[in-house]
Chain A
Amino acid sequence: MRRHQFILWVLTTVGFLLTPLVLGIYELTVLDFIMLRSIAVLGLVLLTGLTGQVSFGQAAFVALGAYTSGILSTRYGLSPWLSLVIALVVVAIAALLVGIPLLQLKGHYLALGTLALGLITSNGLVELHGLTGGPSGFGNIPAFSVFGLMLTDPPTYTAFLALCLALSLGLALLVADGRLGRLARAVRENELTAECLGVHATGVKLQMFLLAALLSGLSGVLYAHMVRFLNPTPFDFTTSVMLLTMAVVGGMTSPWGALLGAAVLTVLTEALRSSVPGTTAEQQVILFGALLVLLLIFWPQGVVGALQRIAARLRTGLRRPSPPIAADSTAQPPGFASADGGRWLQAFFGQDKATAQHAEAEKATTLLQLSKLTCRFGGLLALDQLDLTVPLGALLAIIGPNGAGKTTVFNAITGIVQPVVGTMMLDGHVLTGLPPYRIARYGIARTFQNVELFPQMTCLENVLVALEADAPQHFWNMVLRFRQTQQQEQEAQAQARQILAFVGLEHAQGTAAGDLPLGQQRALELARAIARRPQVLLLDEPASGLNPAERQQIATLIQHLHAQGLTIMLVEHAMDFVMALANTIVVLNRGQKIAEGTPEAIRQDPAVIAAYLGNPEQLGSLPPLASRSGGAT
């Protein structure tokens, strides 16, 4: 966690703990409710704000926590502390049972699924009389007690709640700022790309769902032992909506938004209760709704967003221009444009099991094998019984006219598209039918024709996601293995910086990826691919949209990577680019392979000329790279 977050956390905790000395009973009660709701909303910020999954059913988990703890401590006479623990366990189990199927649903279907969950729970509370006391509910729930001190009145309960909030907030901040938070944001911004980088998106979503459920459940338990009377009314759809509203109003991009949102809305309700003179309660409700709409229209980022904008403005105003990076700084690894680039790359790739994989793979010379690969989109046959063998260490280019199926090959290999017929094998492993993240973890990385970055994340974060995709942190490890986590974080960041420097983006590490010009975006994509330490690299039109100088740089980089022993497949239209780089060229037309061979052979192949390259007289002898711009028909 960054230092200023930590300081803020400490200040907030101390501040809340001191309030019983300063505020009256009424204000403390309001604060209690704010804190209760903040805890639940923290979960929502993590699930919806960070990971982008909309949930209308958080009230169900609040209810589950509240009722479990309430029933256990009244009917079965368990200590409230024990009931708390058991309730959280119950909530966790329920969240897993429900989350695993639900998180396969996307977007509004997930919203509906969680809505249904909320309604079923609400209904169950009313119907299961024997267990829950039905609509009348039950009371006499014991309060928490610490060493004989009963935590019932606002001053003591406020302090207790402040501690619980501090713990929850701390956990949320650790998660949001750490590896899991980064992966979650990647999933939110571009789930498919994240999967292609090896992120198990469903796993990440499930963790966040679990965390959100636990926080909601905790909120419920604390509520039950505070009001000490439970009935189904507070746990309905309106409550789920209210929690979501608090998240939005506060700002869903940061855990602080949870506190701010809960505070703003609770205080607003209280203030409107009787402050505007002459208004009746009915009018107050309308005011509330109208205010909500206005806030959402003009402040969709919520309070946190507004604060961040102000802070950013202050920062740019205050910041002195940073000194230019010394061109010959020896501490940094050289950019790929220099000759030293190869050596750094070797060191980087030598660092891990990729070499072991290489050693294994060297026993066979074929790395990737596609046989009878057929892909259909509706009535369109995109690939027709394609057979392709990619030898280890090849630099293979796929060319052909539009509609030939080139990108489809890539999509099939990476698992984005499932073939109707045919198989794919990577070094003895079957790839067919696997989801993209599994394929990525076998060592296949790709770039996309339309650059697919995580636009709101910084360049550094983009690379970090790629580095860390294989091993997401479980959120409990954030706390249990705190020091180790921090250390891993430092190392990862150092590595990521080196990679960025290698592709020449060191100066942009803090810039949002969406703000970069196209050439640098392509470089970032490549950096991300490199970070995967892949065996096979699929590059989809890496040169398109670039000027000659940029093309030269990309070509050099590809050559460096190839020299490392990477197997590279390339889809390109720029013929000079292709001819100069590739050692094998495959030509596709209408889903079928019409030619395969060395660049010279392909250049003269009449079928290829007829389908794609055009009149041989026009081509002449192609000069070496960097003197021509684009060349396709």
Chain B
Amino acid sequence: MLSITGGASTLGMPERNTLQMLQDMVNSQGGVKGPDGQMHRLDVVIYDDQSDESQAVLATTRLINQDKVAAVICCTTSGATMAAIDVATRSQVPLISLATAAGIAHPVEQRHWIFKVPWDDSMVIERILQYLQSQKLQRIGLLTVSTEYGDSARQAFESLRGKYGVTIAVSDRFNTGTTDVTTQLNRIRVSNVQAVVVWALPPETAVAVKNYHDLGMNIPLILSHGVATKAFIDAAGPAANGATLPAGKILVVNAIPASDPQYEALKQYSQLYPQRFGGPLTTFGGHAWDAFWIVEHALEKAGPDHAALRDAIEQTKNFAGITGVFTYSPTDHVGLAPDSLVMVTIQNGAFQLLSSQ
């Protein structure tokens, strides 16, 4: 269940497209081969939660009780996921989330049925902090959006920065849908920081990048992995050049060496998706790819029984996906490590890998 309309639709649409594409691909090859040796057709039922939690609850209930799905892939936003977790746990159906909040997979004792694909925000932030440390950037300004996305990042920054010797000199917020953050950026501009981190989704980040440019700022600009899409570059225009961000390897797929364990998966996805949809490759679509294959492989092993399926998912080891290499365990329902993220920079309207980072 995805957010195809509403505030998170930038993320939900590529997710939806990817799932549809994979469903067709699997079925055209005869379907899923279950543990009984038979081929079964795979049906992916997709609902839109309109980025609204009540809808999320209703749709999840419908998926579980009406459509009787084997597993639920939900949701695009953290808020919707949190609302749906209760339903899935009560009904004892495995749920794989495409959202980033840490609370989704932690505390793992209470999340027996819940798994997630995207990195924990703390992981992404740790990657950024690693980068900052390697570039000897110690005083930063932090600008976050006032949603749970920005919020959880802020918390992660505060708790992890000490380890990497970084101080947050100026810290500010802005709302979703804002058309101007000049005031906030100006505060950062006039203080003595060495870099500025802007953490938001594409629409607001594009505005921020533009304001940054208009203010004539030139300290290093680091963005969130939420803008790791070509659409962002198109919107922000030349003002985005020079910005750095952590991203999944899918963004710079052409620069990934064949020795990388994710090479095959990346190559396949980067050919199939644009072929069918024409649109750009996104991390979010990549999350959907990973969720799909994790469930599919588990179905092959264990069939659609909820408990068995859940166990099979938890036993996923070294699955090379788009987001990273997954290994779940009873104590880890996130399954990833920070090295699945790479630092990329925007140059000449495209993402470039920053190799040594």
Chains A and B in contact, CB within 8 Å: yes
Set of chain A residues within 8 Å of B57, measured between Cβ atoms = 29, 33, 227
A residues less than 8 Å from B65 (CB atoms): 24-26, 29
A366 to chain B, nearest CB (A): 66
Q: Tell me whether B61 and A29 are in contact (CB under 8 A).
A: yes
- Mark interface residues in A283-296 (1 if CB within 8 Å of B CB, else 0): 01100000000000
Using a CB-CB cutoff of 8 Å, which residues 230-254 of chain A contact chain B? 231, 233-234
Which applies to chain B's interface (DSSP): helix, strand, loop or mixed?
helix
In the assembled complex, the Cα of A126 lies from the Cα of B53 at a distance in Å of 16
Q: Name A430-453 residues within 8 Å CB distance of B.
A: none
Residues of B within 8 A of A274 (CB): 45, 47
How many Å lie between the Cα of A229 and that of B55 in the bound state? 14
A362 part of interface (Cβ distance < 8 Å): no
A227→B86 contact, CB < 8 A: yes
Alpha-carbon separation in the docked complex, A137 to B45 (Å): 29
Residues of B within 8 A of A33 (CB): 54, 57-58
- Who on chain A is nearest to B4 by CB? A281
Q: Report which of B4, B51, B91 forms a contact with A280, defined as CB distance below 8 A.
A: B4
Give complex CA distance A29, B53 in Å: 14
CB proximity of A456 to chain B, nearest CB, Å: 36
Assuming the contacts A234-B52, A285-B50, asked whether A139 and B62 have C-beta atoms less than 8 A apart, the reply is no
Q: Which residues of A contact B148 (CB under 8 A)?
A: 134-137, 231
Q: Is B307 an interface residue (CB 8 A)?
A: no
B299 within 8 A of A: no
**B280, CB-defined interface residue at 8 Å:** no
The reply on B229 being an interface residue by CB < 8 A is no
- The distance in angstroms between the C-alpha atoms of A589 and B160, with both chains bound, is 86
Question: Interface size class for chain A?
Answer: 20 to 34
- Chain A residues with CB under 8 A of B55: 269
| Interface assignment of A153: CB less than 8 Å from any CB of chain B | yes
Q: Which chain A residue shows the least CB distance to B102?
A: A136
Residue of B nearest to A24 (CB): B65
A505 to B147: give the CA distance in the assembly, Å. 64
Which of B77-85, B256-264, B335-343 forms contacts with chain A? Answer: B77-85
* A456–B192 alpha-carbon span in the complex (Å): 69
A411 within 8 A of B: no
- The distance in angstroms between the C-alpha atoms of A274 and B47, with both chains bound, is 7
How long is the Cα–Cα vector from A137 to B5 in the complex, in angstroms? 22
Q: How far is the CB of A480 from chain B (nearest CB, A)?
A: 34
Whether B150 sits at the interface, judged by CB under 8 Å, is yes
Contact with B along A121-158 (1 / 0, CB 8 A): 00000110100001111010000000000001110000
Q: Is the CB of A25 within 8 A of B61?
A: yes
CB within 8 Å of B: which A282-324 residues: 282, 284-285
* CB interface residues, B 32-79, toward A, < 8 Å: 45, 47-48, 50-55, 57-59, 61-62, 64-66, 78-79
A residues in contact with B149, CB < 8 Å: 135
Please provide the chain A residues from 393 to 414 with a CB less than 8 Å away from any CB of chain B in the complex.
none
Residues of B within 8 A of A280 (CB): 4
Q: How far is the CA of A270 from the CA of B67 in the complex (A)?
A: 14
B276 contacts the other chain (Cβ, under 8 Å)? no
Are B103 and A136 in contact (CB-based, < 8 A)?
yes
Question: B228-269: which residues lie under 8 A (CB-CB) from chain A?
Answer: none
Contact at A281–B48, with CB atoms within 8 Å?
yes
Which residues of B lie under 8 Å from residue A25 when comparing CB positions? Answer: 61, 64-65, 91
B50 near A281 (CB under 8 angstroms)?
A: yes
Query: Among the interface residues B47, B51, B147, which one has the most CB atoms of the partner chain A within 10 A?
Result: B147
Tell me whether A26 and B61 are in contact in the complex, defined as CB-CB below 8 angstroms, given that A126-B146, A233-B53, A269-B55 are known contacts.
Answer: yes
B146 in contact with A135 (CB, 8 Å): yes
A492 at the interface (CB under 8 A from B): no
Interfacial chain B residues near A30, Cβ < 8 Å: 58
Contact of A229 among B45, B47, B51, B83 (CB under 8 A): B83
Q: Is there an interface contact between A29 and B79, defined as CB atoms closer than 8 Å?
A: no
Interface membership of chain B positions 318-344, coded 1 if the CB is closer than 8 angstroms to chain A and 0 otherwise: 000000000000000000000000000
Residue in B51, B52, B147 whose beta carbon sits within 8 Å of that of A135 in the complex: B147
Residues of A within 8 A of B206 (CB): none
Residues of A within 8 A of B151 (CB): 129, 134-136
> What is the CB-to-nearest-CB distance from A30 to chain B, in angstroms, rounded to a whole number?
6
- In the bound complex, what is the Cα–Cα distance between A136 and B85 (angstroms)? 15
Within 8 A of A (CB), among B135-175: 146-152
Q: Give the CA-CA distance A228 to B152 in the complex, in Å.
A: 20
Q: Do residues A152 and B90 form an inter-chain contact, with CB atoms below 8 A?
A: yes
User: How far is A280 from B16 in the complex, measured between Cα atoms in Å?
Assistant: 10
Chain A residues with CB under 8 Å of B91's CB are 25
Residues of chain B within 8 A of A108, CB atoms compared: none
Asked whether B53 lies within 8 Å of A231 as measured between CB atoms, the reply is yes
Q: Does A358 contact B (CB under 8 A)?
A: no
Residues of B near A284 (CB, < 8 A) are: 48
**B150 lies within 8 A of A273 (CB):** no
Instruction: Give the interface centre of A126, A127, A152, A284 by most chain B CB atoms within 10 Å.
Output: A126
B201 at the interface (CB under 8 A from A): no
Complex partner residue of A127 from B78, B79, B90, B146, CB under 8 angstroms: B146
Closest-CB distance, A299 to chain B (whole angstroms): 25
| Residue B313 at the chain A interface, CB threshold 8 Å | no
Contact present for B5 and A270 (CB under 8 Å): no
Min CB distance A599 to B, Å, is 74
Write the nearest CB–CB distance from B148 to chain A, whole angstroms: 4
> Are A137 and B58 within 8 A (Cβ)?
no
Distance between Cα atoms of A284 and B9 in the complex (Å)? 14
User: Which residues of chain A come closer than 8 Å to B146, judged between CB atoms?
Assistant: 126-127, 134-135
CB-based contact A273/B47 at 8 Å: yes
Bound CA–CA A229/B82 (angstroms): 7
A33 and B54 alpha carbons, distance in the complex (Å): 8
Given the known A-B contacts A134-B151, A135-B150, are A153 and B48 also in contact in the complex, defined by CB atoms under 8 Å? no
A selection of 27 A-B contacts at a CB cut-off of 8 Å is A24-B65, A24-B66, A26-B62, A29-B57, A29-B58, A135-B146, A135-B147, A135-B149, A136-B78, A136-B103, A136-B152, A139-B86, A153-B90, A227-B57, A227-B86, A229-B82, A231-B79, A233-B52, A233-B53, A269-B55, A270-B58, A270-B62, A273-B48, A274-B45, A280-B4, A282-B4, A285-B5
Contacts A24-B66, A29-B65, A234-B53 supplied; 16 other A-B pairs, CB < 8 Å: A24-B65, A26-B66, A33-B57, A135-B146, A135-B148, A136-B78, A136-B148, A136-B152, A139-B86, A152-B90, A228-B86, A231-B82, A233-B51, A270-B62, A274-B45, A280-B4
Ranked 3 nearest A-B pairs via Cβ: A281-B48, A281-B4, A26-B65
Q: A residues bordering B, Cβ < 8 Å? A: 24-26, 29-30, 33, 126-127, 129, 134-137, 139, 152-154, 227-229, 231, 233-234, 269-270, 273-274, 280-282, 284-285
